[in-house]
């Protein structure tokens, strides 16, 4: 990741699922400058670093369908697997797992987390 990520760019990617502010795997991949498959492979290959839903969890079918109907504007491309949702702790752990400079987005993510309650795409 060679560019500094702007606060607004991260904030607009935060959604609330299961009462937790998260960012979906494809958005995390974009922010970190890697492919989504690399993000998911890092989680799969390092289960000890992502021990519970406090770090990352997979959306269920209902959450994914509801999310697509609320915020995604296109169904083009589709996903073969249900997406994963990363919490703040999960983002930091993923950055260290991928050997990225987590410090570049650390403060921006914290600032965004404080404003996460403003988002209207909460799924229950």
Phi, psi of 24 (to 5 degrees): -70, 155
Reported as a single tens digit per residue, the pLDDT across 11-53 is 888 889 999 999 999 999 988 888 899 999 999 988 888 887 7
pTM reported for the whole predicted model: 0.71
How far is Cα 55 from Cα 47, in angstroms, rounded to an integer? 11
Residue 59 lies in a domain: yes
| Residue 81: per-residue pLDDT | 82
Residue 55 lies in a domain: yes
Number of structural domains (the chain) is 1
Residue 82 lies in a domain: yes
| Residue 111: per-residue pLDDT | 53
Residue 123 lies in a domain: no
- 3 state DSSP class of 80: coil
CATH number reported for the structural domain that contains residue 32 in this entry = 3.10.260
Residue 2 lies in a domain: no
CB-based contact 100:93 (threshold 8 Å): no
Reported as a single tens digit per residue, the pLDDT across 77-119 is 556 689 999 998 998 888 888 876 444 445 455 555 555 544 4
Residue 25 lies in a domain: yes
pLDDT band at 56 (very low <50, low <70, confident <90, very high): very high
Domain membership of residue 61 as a residue range: 7-118
Residue 107 lies in a domain: yes
Residue 55 has pLDDT above 90, yes or no: yes
Residue 89 lies in a domain: yes
Task: Between 1 and 20, name the one with better pLDDT.
Answer: 20
């Amino acid at each position: 990741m060679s560019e500094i990520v702007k606060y607004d760019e991260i904030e607009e990617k935060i959604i609330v699922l299961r009462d937790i502010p998260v960012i979906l795997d494809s958005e995390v991949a974009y922010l970190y400058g890697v492919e989504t498959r690399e993000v998911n492979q890092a989680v799969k290959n390092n289960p000890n670093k992502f021990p519970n839903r406090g770090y990352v969890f997979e959306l269920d079918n209902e959450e994914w369908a509801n999310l697509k109907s609320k915020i995604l504007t296109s169904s083009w491309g589709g996903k073969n697997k249900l997406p994963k949702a990363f919490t703040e702790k999960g983002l930091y752990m993923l950055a260290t797992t991928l050997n990225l400079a987590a410090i570049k987005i650390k403060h921006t993510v914290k600032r965004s987390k404080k404003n996460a309650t403003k988002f209207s795409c909460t799924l229950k």
